[in-house]
Amino acid sequence: MSELIQLVPNKWVTEEKLIQVTGLREGTIRRARKTSWMQGRQYLHVSPEGEPKPTSECMYNLSEINVWIERQASNQPGAVGRKKA
């Protein structure tokens, strides 16, 4: 019999895990970081030394990113009450 292990994502996840659990693509994540997400809310730069730089790896707040995704429901093409550009 094989053993089944179920992992639950942490509050902060790597880009690889964010892609796996949300289905977002690397380019979408990069654009959202530049245009929509707030550093400290949806993402953080991290480093082993505790002094991250702008080029350090990012960790992503999965719950905040899910909120960001949900907020887009009312802006869907054809959605009732959608704001016109």
More confident residue, 78 or 34: 34
The reported pTM is: 0.80
Does pLDDT of 33 surpass 60?
yes
Q: Where residue 84 falls among pLDDT bands split at 50, 70, 90?
A: low
| Total of domains in the chain | 1
Q: Per-residue pLDDT for 16 more than 80?
A: yes
Assigned domain for 79 exists: no
The residue range of the domain holding 63 is 12-70
Residue 57: inside a domain: yes
Cβ atoms within 10 A of the Cβ of 68, count?
16
Residue 77 belongs to a domain? no
Average pLDDT over residues 49-70: 96
CATH number reported for the structural domain that contains residue 24 in this entry = 1.10.1660.60
State the pLDDT at residue 62: 96
Residue 5 placed within a domain = no
Of 84, 25, 14, 26, nearest in space to 56 by CA: 14
